[in-house]
Structure 1
Amino acid sequence: MTAGATILPPGPDHRHVLVWRFGEPVQALSSASVGGGFTTPSWLLNIGVPHDYSRIDLDQHAATIATGRDLRGPGIAMFTAVDVTRAEHVLVERASVCATVGVTRPTWAADPEAGHALWPGTINLVAQLPVALEPAAMVQALLAMTEAKTQALLEAQVPGTGTASDAITLVCPVAASTERFGGVRSTWGHRVAMATHAAVHRGLAAHPGRPR
């Protein structure tokens, strides 16, 4: 399920793409290589790419897809070799998380033997909340999502804390009234953590990759 997203067909240099269009102003915090950081995006892409994908001009690739779909203004783009049509969506008390889950190459965050190699197998997370968060609270919520993802991986006995190319994006409305806290024991941090855990758990159960 891909709540709020449209599935675009494959193109010459990409597989299916999930696209979110934001009609109302939103703020986002993202670890994505394209459009990451604190931003006010008009759109968001989760781009499926081939397993042998080797392009390094990610901004240009994302811009080409966005232009072809008349997506205007600033945006965010994440990339994955996972089939994005198999995304898992979970809603926990209005906290929404969409996850594309691939763990063919899990890694430990502090692995001295890992080096700098990158392999296919990515966990991309897109969370949407109905309330505005202060900047620090958005960081806290992103940390809560990361912890929940790792918890799901460990419970599934995946030998790693994630993959080398995981990305997370949190989207909230722009509003005058903001929530101050987003950690795991705050209202919205707890909800988005629970949704993240469930989405990653479902992705691992439905489409298990064989760690190599």
Structure 2
Amino acid sequence: MEDGACRHHLVWRAGPGWRMVSSAVLGGGLGERGWVLNAQVRPGYARMDPAQHLAELAAAEGLTGPGVGLMTAAQVDDATWAEDTDVTAVVTTGIGVPTWAAAAAPASASFAPSAPDAGPAAVALPGRRYVPGTINILAVVPAPVGDAGLVNLLATATEAKVQALLDAGYDCSGTPSDAVCIAVRTPAPGLTPDLFGGPRSTWGARLARAVHAAVLAGAELDRTRRASGPRPDHAVPGPACCLGDLLLGATEST
């Protein structure tokens, strides 16, 4: 519940044995992580402590230890997902503020774009509130990958996102504060992790196709949703507010 409305979120209880790299506001960076939370917040999110807010939501879900927390004002119930040879991508999409990464510099340093249907990573400009982003990507690779390869997988996922947006007819590279989380297995003793994560590497190619398919589906669904008007809030949780596993027993919606 937030601001008198029931707002859903997605949870992946990964457990031990996973390394993640992420641009998320909570648990971002690179290291061992045991869970991922993608929380829906209201449009015009105004809290100044998003990491603390996400930590509170994680605690309410019984999530302990290090994890990754993302935010979105897009409908997480409309999450899209795709698989390619054991790689899974789950995406929440709300393209309310499409933009190009290399946009012209604003006239004022205090300028901060508003995001009416926000998402995950932070836009933190001086004197302005935190603005959640809109396109959140979680991609899961069931194999150990070295640090450099893991960072490369994050770049590959971003490239695939841009390709999907262009294929969906959008004139943008994303929104001002998209976030990405890539999970790979922790290498077992004596096992050499894969070194590469670019789009022509084994795991990078699979991840790129999965992310592209999930973002493309999400972009098209978001366009349809906007054409039909905003979905009304509901104040009391109902049976539809607690879904089963979203994907392969890994992702839950609550």
TM-score by length of 2: 0.75
- What's the counterpart of residue 174 of structure 1? 186
Instruction: Confirm whether residue 131 of structure 1 aligns to residue 123 of structure 2.
Output: no
Residue 66 of structure 1 pairs with residue 58 of structure 2:
yes
The answer to whether 1:36 aligns with 2:36 is: no
The residue type paired with residue 2 of structure 2 is P
Which of 143, 147, 157 is equivalent to 1:145? 157
Native 8 Å contact 1:134 1:178 kept in 2: yes
Residue 128 of structure 1: CA displacement?
0.4
TM-fit CA distance, 1:78: 0.5
The answer for unaligned runs of 5 or more in structure 2 is 119-133, 228-254
Deviation at 1:116, TM superposition (A): 3.0
Q: Which amino acid aligns with 1:201?
A: L
The verdict on how the C-alpha distance between 1:57 and 1:26 changes in structure 2, with shifts beyond 3 A counting, is same
> In the alignment, which residue of structure 1 is the partner of 2:168?
156
Whether the 8 Å contact between 2:55 and 2:69 is mirrored in structure 1 is: no
Residue in 2 aligned with 1:75?
A: 67
Counterpart among 104, 107, 110 of residue 112 in structure 1: 104
Aligned-pair CA distance for 1:28 = 0.2
RMSD between aligned alpha carbons?
Answer: 1.7
Give how far 1:23 is off. 2.2
**More divergent stretch after superposition (71-80 vs 110-119):** 110-119
Give 1:40 shift.
Answer: 1.0
Q: Which runs of 5+ in 1 are unaligned?
A: 1-10
Equivalent of 1:46, from 38, 42, 50?
38
**Higher deviation after alignment, 165-174 or 108-117:** 108-117
One-letter amino acid matched to 2:222: H
Task: Give the counterpart letter for 1:126 in structure 2.
Answer: L
Matches of 2:168 and 2:35, distance apart in 1: 33
In the alignment, which of 98, 101, 113 is matched to residue 93 of structure 2? 101
- For 1:185, which of 192, 200, 213 is the aligned residue? 200
Name the % identity: 39
Larger Rg: 2
- Pair 1:203-2:218 in alignment: yes
Paired residues in the alignment total: 201
Once the two structures are TM-superposed, the CA of residue 24 in structure 1 deviates from its matched residue by 2.7
Which structure has greater strand proportion? 1
- 2:82 touches 2:214 (CA, 8 Å); kept in 1? yes
SS of 1:19 mapped into structure 2: strand
From 2, 6, 9, the equivalent of 1:12 is 2
Shift of 1:22: 1.8
Aligned to 1:92: 84
Q: State the shift of 1:206 in Å.
A: 2.1
Whole-Å Cα distance in 1 between the matches of residues 90 and 60 of structure 2? 24
Displacement of 1:109: 0.4
Q: SS in structure 1 opposite 2:51?
A: helix
1:113 shift after superposition: 4.8
